[in-house]
Structure 1
Amino acid sequence: MDKIPGQKRAVQYLYPPIDPFDQRTLDVGDGHTVYVEQCGNPQGMPVIVLHGGPGGGCSPAMRRYFDPDVYRVVLFDQRGCGRSRPHASVKNNTTWDLVADIERIRETLGIEKTCVFGGSWGATLALVYAISHPDRVSHLILRGVFLMTQAELDWFYGGGAGQFWPEPWARFAHLVPENERHDLISAYEKRLFSGDLRTETRFAQAWSAWENALASVYSNGHGGEAPGEYARAFARLENHYFVNKGFLSEDGWILKNIEKIHGIPGVIVQGRYDMICPPQRAWELAQAWPDADLRMVRNAGHALSEPGISAELVRAMDDISRREGLHTSGLR
C-alpha cells in the first residue's frame, strides 16, 4: 500500500512497540505447526488476536493496540501463513481447523476465558469461534466486518467494488481470458493451484494487489506489489476459503446463529467508506446482536492502519480495561 501521511499519524494512537515474552511453535496436528507469541502482562487480561486474510499473518504492529500493563496479548499465524508451516498449504486448512487451533492455543496457555480481537477475516473467525465456544469468550472486538456471505464475495470479486475502482479492477480482471471473467474466484483458483510456481506467484501478486489497492480510503488505486512468498500464501488461502464459502454449512450462517453470542459484549469498529467489506454487514450484525456497540468511523476505509480505525480500536480496548477496573495508562 502507498505510504501516506494518514498511515503515519495512526502510530500516535498506538502503545509503544514491545517484544514478546513467549514465542513458540505449536503442533496442531494434520501436519501443521502454528507460530504463537505472547506479549504484555503475563498475568493480565487475555486477548487473542486473529489476523485477516485468510493468509495475512500477524505483524509486530498488532501488539500495540493493547495496554501492555493490562493485557496478556496472544497472537498467532493461522495455518499456512506467516511463520506457520507448511507455508501456503491448503491441506487440512478450514475454518473449523482454525477454530480448533484457537481452542488448542487457549488450553495450552491455560486461559479460561478471553477477549477475541479480529479484523476482516479475523472478524469472521472471531464470530465463528464465539458462536462455537461462547463460554470461552469474554468480549468481542471486531473491525471491518466480513460475514462470509455470497453477497460479499459478489461485491468484491464480481464487479461491485470495481465500479468505484475501475483501473485496479481492470488490472485484476483482465489478467484472465474474457470468457472466464464471470467467475474470477474460479478463474484465479486454476492459476493459483496450477503447480507452476511462476504462474502461481504472478496471479497471487495480482490477487493481493487488487485487495491492497482498495484497503485505505487514502489509496490512489495502487497498493504496491507484495513479495512473492507472502502473496502466494495470502492469495491461495483466501481463494481456497472463498471457493469453499468459508466452510460454513449455509449462506448467512453467522447471522443465523448469532443468538448464541447474545450476552457477550462486543465493539464493532467499521470504516464508513470500506470498499472491501462495506458497512451494511456491520450494521446488520449490530442489529442482530443486542450487546454490540457499533462505532462507524467517518473518512475511513478498511485498513487496520487507518488513523480513525486505530484510534477507535485502542479506545475500545481501553474502555474494556477501564470497565474491568484494570486500566492504567490512558489513551495513546
Structure 2
Amino acid sequence: MDRTAGQKSIISHLYPPIEPFDQRMLDVGDGHTIYVEQCGNPQGMPVVVLHGGPGGGCSPAMRRYFDPRHYRVILFDQRGCGRSRPHASVEANTTWHLVADIELIRETLGISRWIVFGGSWGATLALIYAQTHPERAAFLVLRGVFLMTQAELDWFYGGGAGRFFPDLWERFVAPIPENERDDMIAAYHRRLFSGDTGEEVRHARLWAGWENALASIEFRGGESPGEYARAFARLENHYFTNRGFLDHDGQIMANICRLAEVPGRVVQGRFDMICPPVAAYRLTESWEAGELAMIPLAGHALSEAGITAELRRITDDLRGRARMLGL
C-alpha cells in the first residue's frame, strides 16, 4: 500500500477535523505550565487523551477518534513537550507529577469521572493513573500496551527488535563507541544531556528515528524536526533511565487488582515491534474487566488503519453507555 492510499484509509475511519472550544495554559507548579484544550460537546461524555512518548505531545488528529456531538474531549501536552513550558525540561518531571497533573486538569474542569484514552506510553500512564485513582477512571481505552518493565526496555534498546531490523539498528548504534553499547539508554543519556544543543539534537534525531522507523508496518518515516526530537528524546530517555519512576519492576501487573472495578478495552497490533503483544495479552489475562482486540496486520502506530478503525468502533460503542459508566 502506498502512503497516500494508506492515509486515505485512515482518514475514512476518523471524524472530520474540529477546533477546540477552549484552550489554556495551566500552571501545575514546579515551574511548569501545560497546554490543555477541550473539543466537541461541552456537555458531552468526558474523555481525557494521554499521548505517547513520554514527550510526544498531542495532535489535532487525536481529536478525531470521538464523535464531537457526544464527547467532551480533553487533550493536553505533558510536562516538557508540545506547547507546554519549559520545553524539553526534565526537572520536576516524573510519572507521579503527570498523574497529579491529570487530577488537576480534572478538578479544574469540574469533571467527576471520565474515560481515559491512551496509547504506548499513554497506555502506561492511563494504567498508573487508574490504579492510583480508580474512582475517577470510568473506562480505559488503551492502544499498544507498554508496561514499563525492564524486559520491554531490553527488547527495544538491547538489540531484540534490532534482530528484525539490523540495518536500522546499526544506524542507531553507529554513533556510540562499542564499549558503551551494552547500555544504549545510558549511552544516549550522556549525549542527550551533554549541554551542547547541537550534539543533543543530532542524537535526539537518531533516538526518535529508531522508534519512528519501527512504528508502522506500512511506512518507514523520515527525520523529525530538531526541536520536537530533542524534547521527545530527552523526556523519553529520562523516564527510561529512571524506569518510569516506579517502585519496582512489574509494578503495573502487581497492582492489577486495583482495576477490578474499572472496565476497559485494549487494541494491540499483532506486529508491534516497539511494544510486543505479549504485554497486552498478559495484561488482559490478569485484568478481568479488560478485553483485548488483536489487530492482525498492524504495528504500533495510532495511525495504522486497523487500529484506527477499532478505536473508532470502541468510542462509538461507548456513546450510549454514559449512565452505566456514571458519566
Please say if residues 45 and 322 of structure 2, whose CA atoms lie closer than 8 Å, have aligned partners that are also in contact. Answer: no
**3-state SS of paired residue (2:294):** strand
Q: What CA distance in whole angstroms lies between the structure 2 residues aligned with 1:108 and 1:213? A: 38
Matched with 2:301 is: 303
Deviations 1:266-306 (A, max 9, x none): 01000000000000000000011001110000100000001
**3-state SS of paired residue (2:48):** strand
Structure 1 residue 322: deviation in Å? Answer: 2.9
Q: What CA distance in whole angstroms lies between the structure 2 residues aligned with 1:4 and 1:275? A: 23
Please say if residues 38 and 75 of structure 1, whose CA atoms lie closer than 8 Å, have aligned partners that are also in contact. Answer: yes
**3-state SS of paired residue (1:111):** coil
Q: What CA distance in whole angstroms lies between the structure 1 residues aligned with 2:67 and 2:187? A: 44
Structure 1 residue 4: deviation in Å? Answer: 5.2
Matched with 2:315 is: 317
Match of 2:224 among 214, 223, 226: 226
CA RMSD in angstroms, aligned pairs only: 1.2
Deviations 1:126-157 (A, max 9, x none): 00000000000100000000000000000000
Deviations 1:32-60 (A, max 9, x none): 00000000000000000000000000000
Deviations 1:180-201 (A, max 9, x none): 1110000000000000000000
- Structure 2 unaligned residues grouped into runs of 5+: none
- Assess, with a 3 A threshold, how the Cα gap between structure 1 residues 27 and 119 changes in structure 2: closer, same or farther: same
Please say if residues 216 and 303 of structure 1, whose CA atoms lie closer than 8 Å, have aligned partners that are also in contact. Answer: yes
Matched with 1:264 is: 262
1:186 pairs with 2:186: yes
1:253 pairs with 2:251: yes
173-182 or 2-11, which deviates more: 2-11
- Structure 1 unaligned residues grouped into runs of 5+: 327-332
Matched with 2:55 is: 55
Matched with 2:92 is: 92
**3-state SS of paired residue (1:134):** coil
Structure 1 residue 263: deviation in Å? Answer: 1.6
Matched with 1:172 is: 172
Q: What CA distance in whole angstroms lies between the structure 2 residues aligned with 1:246 and 1:7? A: 33
- Assess, with a 3 A threshold, how the Cα gap between structure 1 residues 50 and 256 changes in structure 2: closer, same or farther: same
Please say if residues 134 and 261 of structure 2, whose CA atoms lie closer than 8 Å, have aligned partners that are also in contact. Answer: no
Matched with 2:139 is: 139
Please say if residues 189 and 237 of structure 2, whose CA atoms lie closer than 8 Å, have aligned partners that are also in contact. Answer: yes
**3-state SS of paired residue (1:282):** helix
Structure 1 residue 323: deviation in Å? Answer: 3.5
Structure 1 residue 104: deviation in Å? Answer: 0.3
Structure 1 residue 316: deviation in Å? Answer: 0.6
Q: What CA distance in whole angstroms lies between the structure 2 residues aligned with 1:272 and 1:4? A: 23
**3-state SS of paired residue (1:135):** coil
Q: What CA distance in whole angstroms lies between the structure 1 residues aligned with 2:32 and 2:60? A: 23
1:81 pairs with 2:81: yes
Structure 1 residue 76: deviation in Å? Answer: 0.1
TM-score (norm 2): 0.97
**3-state SS of paired residue (2:72):** strand
**3-state SS of paired residue (2:115):** strand
